[in-house]
Chains A and B, each alone.
Chain A
Amino acid sequence: MFPQGKTKTLKPKAGGQRESPMARQHEAQQMSVYEEMPIDPSLASMTERLQEELGQSADLIVREFGGSEPSSAKTIAVVYIQAMIDDTRLDEFIIQTMQEDMLSGEEPEKDYVRMKDKLLAIGIVSELKTFKDLFEKLFLGYAIVLMEGQEQGISAHIVGGASRGVDDPKTEMTIRGPREGFTESIRVNSMMVRRKIRSPKLWLEQHKVGEITQTPVAIMYIQGLAGEEIIEDLRDRLQAIKIDGILETNYIEEMISDQKWSPFPTIMYSERPDVVAAALLEGRIALLVDGTPFALILPVSLNAFFQAAEDYYQTFQMATFLRMLRFVSFVIALLMPSVYVAIIGYHQEMIPTQLLLKLAAQREGVPFPAYLEAFLMEFVFEILREAVLRMPSAAGSAVSIVGGLVIGQSVVEAGIVSSAVVIVVSFTAIASFVSPIYNLGIAARLLRFFLLFAASTLGFYGIALVTLVILLHLSNIRSFGVPYLKPFAPFYWKDMKDSLIRVPMWLMKQRPQKAAEDDNIRQSTKLKPRKEPSQ
């Protein structure tokens, strides 16, 4: 997570720039200045220039080396950002080499080649021509070697520095299945995916997004499976992004998504390399962004948000049951409070008499009408939910105690709210957490209030109207050209294998439709387990 201060200082500035196109142009010019600025052959002025450009930043380290004589001039400089590099490798493979006086000093051209090709015992070494190249490498954690009289610098890959190790995925739990989740480093993340798909066809295409942050963003796909047009389209949309900074995948998601106003996510995210790998194998495209442990997956349909990684790691019967449970839970999360309000307010004849009496007894003496009650409780619940999320964890238990006690008990006992509403709201809340991708739960959370409003003014008729609008909307939106309700509408019989139900692995003979028309065979057709012929 980034410290609060940083985003705060960035945002107003970004906002200001958007208002005036002139300011944006000016900024862009400043950035491109470095492109035309060549490396200065004079080492002294070069180092001075560097420090000036960085505003004498304390973490810019410039280490200079020269001859053994006290008077001899410095001929080599090593430049790096402190704590972004690996200190051991810097000491062993760069500083030590410099100190061994292996350059003649008489032929600078030869010395430069010798330095680049012989002396630096580093895997990745490249030449730099301009300040732009130099800064790019410098801020990725490379060490830069500059030599007197040379118009090129050398960058050496000794990227290091503190980073979080590979850890359990925190948002997508499974009982059975891999336990590793993405980290904040894009290289580690792409490595984790590559470790699952060992194929030369797994292509990785890196871009830089963010005018100031220069954040590495990688498009990952399996060549031949992913649709060429979609990759092309994605590339275009990425390049069109002109923004100061990318700090999380959502910055990109909102910029490239087809549906700017929809509450439904048209791009999925995941924290799990296995989920990303599975998506790639289905012909989808992954987008990795440096600095966040979440990868974007696209294109996706609504169906994908009901598929949990675990569905494929346990028996298909159980997976099918859970799949349906999730669909039902989504409907409950969306509709339950509004159905309750509609029944209580308009359609009392629809419930069994005993239940009616029970509900009526609870409502006896409650001062608010049912819809207000439901609104209030939903609102209180949202507050609680947000509070528990944002609170420092030390204070979290206090919130849950107060919330549980006040809302669960006292409010009902005091007769301010009927217990039926508390039951409905808490059940709804639990149902909304069943969604394996948190994103979709959020859509249900917002739409719930619209439905509640419709139910309280028009009863079931209102619910039917709003549901119809939602359905129309869903059948109207697309994710990178793929209809959102695929495979239900348009209906693809072959894709039903992994939608409401999950058929056994040996029946998933084909890859999802429209992913890659020409090469559609996922597996051999003769995998159904058979009885061994008896001997």
Chain B
Amino acid sequence: MRRAAGIGPGKLRARLVRLMLLVLLMAACAPLSACWDIQYLDQLGVVLAVGVDDDPKGKFRYQVTVQVVLPRNASPGDQSGNGSPVMTISEKGDTLFEAIRKMSAKTSRRLFFSHMQLLAIHENTAKKDLYPLLDLIDRNADIRSDISVVIARGLRAEQLLEIRTQMEAVPANQMKEAIEVNEKAHGQVFSVLVRDIVRMADSHLKEAAVPAIGVEGMPEAGNKDNNVTQIKPDVIPELTTMAIFRDGELAGYLTPKESRGYVFLRNRIKSSVLKLSCPRTDGHYIVEIFDSDTRTKVRQSPQSSDTPLVHVQVRMEASIHELTCQDFNVHDESSFREVELAVNQAVEAELDAAIGALQKKLRSDALGWGREVYQDQPAMWKRISGNWNDVFPNVPYELECISRIQSMGIRSNSIAK
């Protein structure tokens, strides 16, 4: 109070008035902001998956289907309803955005794409062009670019998004997570995100590869209650293999073996299992590869200075998981070597098959060898990049597989006879 007395009552009052004015001004600013972009959670239709097909009537370029989650049904809780956890809306348009905006005629909530998980593209649409579909996602600041991309193989993307799934209430989640589980445990496919493809497209040094999803069962039965109330569902989405693109257009699919070989070559194997035949008797044994590292190096081929020689080295840590061979002596050190050799051969065969398919059948550098050449032999790349598409199918390569068996499990010889 001592200081207040020093100021004097007149000055104090002036200060108070100024303060009040400031408060008033600030209060007046609040309604001006008007919450212009406020959008409440319960007024949002959260889109988890988008499917793109050709317009069956051919009038427009695309038919777009969105899978909107219904939170009331999707998250189990006290207020959960009994209806379907998601719904789909389809609309046609020449671009993705056009179709999506047209959907506002059919929704009571604003569609919200920030939580999109999955982009499913029908194979026929993918055959035309992939890149135009991704521009919207990459350009828009509100949409994440970690969306998983899949190819709907053998059925329309619309149908794929209409399949009800049991394990995950939201079908988009089931598919996205299936890819991740497969990547971790089997290595036949790996998840490819929108931003990966966009990066590839930007660099022009690598072709895109995207996992494909088909179904087991008749697709039409997927959109029925039965599919979730029965123990054995009528329809279940099933991962197949990697789909390979050439210049942004779907070129074809790999076989399961080639597909895994491809995953090895891309160094995306986290763990996988190999079935190998017993060396001397009937029966098989299973080897699990739990750690793998692939390195690709490019040298100059001894034949010509314009031919690269690609050297691929795969190092694996593995262990035996199932053993049904009768005469297999687990205690013998030499049997380890034997198994390692067999593993090397099996993996080499898969790599060979994958490279063969990409070079001869699909003629697509989805391995990114162009990029390797560019990095390791920039001078050569300058000379050959112009007709890389013709060079690639004939690039010679060397494969080197090095595996190490770490354990035979916790029992000794097999009980199988």
Interface residues of A (CB under 8 A from B): 236-237, 240-241, 255, 260, 344-346, 348-349, 353-354, 356-366, 369-370, 413, 415, 453, 456-459
The total number of A-B Cβ pairs within 8 Å is 83
- Residue ID in chain A nearest B31 by CB atoms: A457
Query: In the complex, A327 Cα to B44 Cα: how many Å?
Result: 35
Are B41 and A344 closer than 8 Å at their CB atoms?
A: yes
Are B71 and A237 closer than 8 Å at their CB atoms?
A: no
With a cutoff of 8 Å between Cβ atoms, the chain B residues found around residue A348 in the complex are 39, 41, 44, 46, 112, 114-115
Are A236 and B2 closer than 8 Å at their CB atoms?
A: yes
With a cutoff of 8 Å between Cβ atoms, the chain A residues found around residue B33 in the complex are 457-458
| A367, chain B: closest CB distance, angstroms | 10
Are A346 and B37 closer than 8 Å at their CB atoms?
A: yes
Query: In the complex, A260 Cα to B2 Cα: how many Å?
Result: 11
Tell me which of B75-83, B242-250, B310-318 binds A. B75-83
Q: A361-B80, A363-B42 are in contact. Are A349 and B115 (CB under 8 A)?
A: yes
Are B144 and A370 closer than 8 Å at their CB atoms?
A: no
Are A370 and B71 closer than 8 Å at their CB atoms?
A: no
Which 8 pairs across A and B sit closest by C-beta, in order of nearness?
A349-B114, A360-B71, A361-B71, A363-B42, A240-B2, A361-B75, A360-B41, A353-B115
Asked whether B48 is an interface residue with its Cβ less than 8 Å from the other chain, the reply is: yes
List CB contacts (< 8 Å) of B1-45 with chain A.
1-2, 4, 30, 33, 35, 37-42, 44
Are A370 and B30 closer than 8 Å at their CB atoms?
A: no
With a cutoff of 8 Å between Cβ atoms, the chain A residues found around residue B78 in the complex are 413
| B121, chain A: closest CB distance, angstroms | 21
Which residue in A358, A369, A453, A456 is a CB contact (below 8 Å) of B77? A358
Asked whether B380 is an interface residue with its Cβ less than 8 Å from the other chain, the reply is: no
Query: In the complex, A228 Cα to B24 Cα: how many Å?
Result: 43
With a cutoff of 8 Å between Cβ atoms, the chain B residues found around residue A456 in the complex are 35
Q: A353-B48, A353-B115, A364-B72 are in contact. Are A345 and B1 (CB under 8 A)?
A: no
With a cutoff of 8 Å between Cβ atoms, the chain A residues found around residue B40 in the complex are 344-345, 363, 369-370
Are A360 and B35 closer than 8 Å at their CB atoms?
A: no
With a cutoff of 8 Å between Cβ atoms, the chain A residues found around residue B44 in the complex are 348, 360
Query: In the complex, A344 Cα to B35 Cα: how many Å?
Result: 13
| B321, chain A: closest CB distance, angstroms | 33
Are A356 and B115 closer than 8 Å at their CB atoms?
A: yes
Which residue in A260, A370, A459 is a CB contact (below 8 Å) of B41? A370
Query: In the complex, A240 Cα to B6 Cα: how many Å?
Result: 12
Are B38 and A346 closer than 8 Å at their CB atoms?
A: yes
Query: In the complex, A413 Cα to B78 Cα: how many Å?
Result: 9
With a cutoff of 8 Å between Cβ atoms, the chain B residues found around residue A344 in the complex are 40-41
With a cutoff of 8 Å between Cβ atoms, the chain B residues found around residue A364 in the complex are 42, 71-72, 79
| B219, chain A: closest CB distance, angstroms | 26
Asked whether B398 is an interface residue with its Cβ less than 8 Å from the other chain, the reply is: no
| A298, chain B: closest CB distance, angstroms | 16
**Contact flags (1/0) for B38-63 with A, using CB distance below 8 Å?**
11111010101000000000000000
Are A361 and B35 closer than 8 Å at their CB atoms?
A: no
Are A349 and B41 closer than 8 Å at their CB atoms?
A: no
Query: In the complex, A369 Cα to B42 Cα: how many Å?
Result: 9
Task: State the majority secondary structure of interface residues on A.
Answer: helix
Interface residues of B (CB under 8 A from A): 1-2, 4, 30, 33, 35, 37-42, 44, 46, 48, 69, 71-72, 74-75, 77-80, 112, 114-115, 117, 142, 144, 170
| A464, chain B: closest CB distance, angstroms | 14
Are B42 and A360 closer than 8 Å at their CB atoms?
A: yes
| B337, chain A: closest CB distance, angstroms | 48
**What are 21 inter-chain pairs, A to B, with CB distance below 8 A?**
A240-B1, A345-B39, A346-B39, A348-B39, A348-B114, A349-B115, A349-B142, A349-B144, A353-B117, A356-B41, A357-B71, A360-B42, A360-B75, A361-B71, A361-B80, A363-B40, A364-B71, A364-B79, A365-B42, A370-B41, A458-B33
Are A457 and B48 closer than 8 Å at their CB atoms?
A: no
Query: In the complex, A82 Cα to B114 Cα: how many Å?
Result: 79
| A260, chain B: closest CB distance, angstroms | 8
With a cutoff of 8 Å between Cβ atoms, the chain B residues found around residue A413 in the complex are 78
Query: In the complex, A415 Cα to B79 Cα: how many Å?
Result: 9
Which residue in A241, A345, A353, A361 is a CB contact (below 8 Å) of B72? A361
**Which of A349, A364, A453, A459 neighbours the largest number of chain B CB atoms within 10 Å of its CB?**
A364
Known: A348-B41, A349-B142, A370-B41. 10 other contacts (CB 8 A): A346-B37, A349-B115, A349-B144, A357-B170, A361-B75, A361-B77, A361-B80, A363-B40, A413-B78, A457-B33
| B365, chain A: closest CB distance, angstroms | 35
With a cutoff of 8 Å between Cβ atoms, the chain A residues found around residue B170 in the complex are 357
Are A357 and B46 closer than 8 Å at their CB atoms?
A: yes
- Residue ID in chain B nearest A342 by CB atoms: B38
Which residue in A237, A358, A365 is a CB contact (below 8 Å) of B2? A237
Are A241 and B77 closer than 8 Å at their CB atoms?
A: no
Q: A349-B115, A370-B41 are in contact. Are A362 and B30 (CB under 8 A)?
A: no
| A259, chain B: closest CB distance, angstroms | 11
| A174, chain B: closest CB distance, angstroms | 36
| A250, chain B: closest CB distance, angstroms | 14
Query: In the complex, A365 Cα to B43 Cα: how many Å?
Result: 10
- Residue ID in chain B nearest A368 by CB atoms: B40
With a cutoff of 8 Å between Cβ atoms, the chain B residues found around residue A366 in the complex are 42
Are B75 and A358 closer than 8 Å at their CB atoms?
A: yes
Query: In the complex, A415 Cα to B112 Cα: how many Å?
Result: 24
| A423, chain B: closest CB distance, angstroms | 13
Query: In the complex, A364 Cα to B80 Cα: how many Å?
Result: 10
Query: In the complex, A348 Cα to B38 Cα: how many Å?
Result: 10
| B42, chain A: closest CB distance, angstroms | 4
- Residue ID in chain B nearest A261 by CB atoms: B19
**Which of A236, A344, A453 neighbours the largest number of chain B CB atoms within 10 Å of its CB?**
A344
Which residue in A361, A365, A415, A453 is a CB contact (below 8 Å) of B74? A361
With a cutoff of 8 Å between Cβ atoms, the chain A residues found around residue B39 in the complex are 345-346, 348
Query: In the complex, A353 Cα to B37 Cα: how many Å?
Result: 21
Q: A357-B75, A361-B71, A361-B77 are in contact. Are A457 and B35 (CB under 8 A)?
A: yes
Query: In the complex, A260 Cα to B74 Cα: how many Å?
Result: 53
Are B79 and A241 closer than 8 Å at their CB atoms?
A: no
Query: In the complex, A366 Cα to B77 Cα: how many Å?
Result: 15
With a cutoff of 8 Å between Cβ atoms, the chain A residues found around residue B69 in the complex are 357
| A184, chain B: closest CB distance, angstroms | 26
- Residue ID in chain A nearest B34 by CB atoms: A457
Are A360 and B46 closer than 8 Å at their CB atoms?
A: yes
Are A345 and B115 closer than 8 Å at their CB atoms?
A: no
| A147, chain B: closest CB distance, angstroms | 44
Query: In the complex, A236 Cα to B69 Cα: how many Å?
Result: 69
With a cutoff of 8 Å between Cβ atoms, the chain A residues found around residue B74 in the complex are 357, 361
Q: A349-B115, A369-B40 are in contact. Are A361 and B79 (CB under 8 A)?
A: yes
Q: A362-B77, A364-B72 are in contact. Are A453 and B42 (CB under 8 A)?
A: no
Are B38 and A363 closer than 8 Å at their CB atoms?
A: no
Query: In the complex, A370 Cα to B77 Cα: how many Å?
Result: 20
Query: In the complex, A349 Cα to B75 Cα: how many Å?
Result: 18
- Residue ID in chain B nearest A364 by CB atoms: B72
With a cutoff of 8 Å between Cβ atoms, the chain B residues found around residue A453 in the complex are 30
Query: In the complex, A360 Cα to B42 Cα: how many Å?
Result: 6
Query: In the complex, A349 Cα to B116 Cα: how many Å?
Result: 10
With a cutoff of 8 Å between Cβ atoms, the chain B residues found around residue A359 in the complex are 41
With a cutoff of 8 Å between Cβ atoms, the chain B residues found around residue A240 in the complex are 1-2
Query: In the complex, A240 Cα to B2 Cα: how many Å?
Result: 6
With a cutoff of 8 Å between Cβ atoms, the chain B residues found around residue A356 in the complex are 41, 46, 115
Query: In the complex, A237 Cα to B4 Cα: how many Å?
Result: 12
Query: In the complex, A344 Cα to B43 Cα: how many Å?
Result: 11
Query: In the complex, A353 Cα to B75 Cα: how many Å?
Result: 11
- Residue ID in chain B nearest A415 by CB atoms: B79
Query: In the complex, A458 Cα to B35 Cα: how many Å?
Result: 7
With a cutoff of 8 Å between Cβ atoms, the chain B residues found around residue A354 in the complex are 75
| A237, chain B: closest CB distance, angstroms | 6
Query: In the complex, A237 Cα to B6 Cα: how many Å?
Result: 13
| B52, chain A: closest CB distance, angstroms | 21
- Residue ID in chain A nearest B37 by CB atoms: A346
- Residue ID in chain B nearest A370 by CB atoms: B40
Which residue in B1, B75, B115 is a CB contact (below 8 Å) of A241? B1
Query: In the complex, A435 Cα to B33 Cα: how many Å?
Result: 34
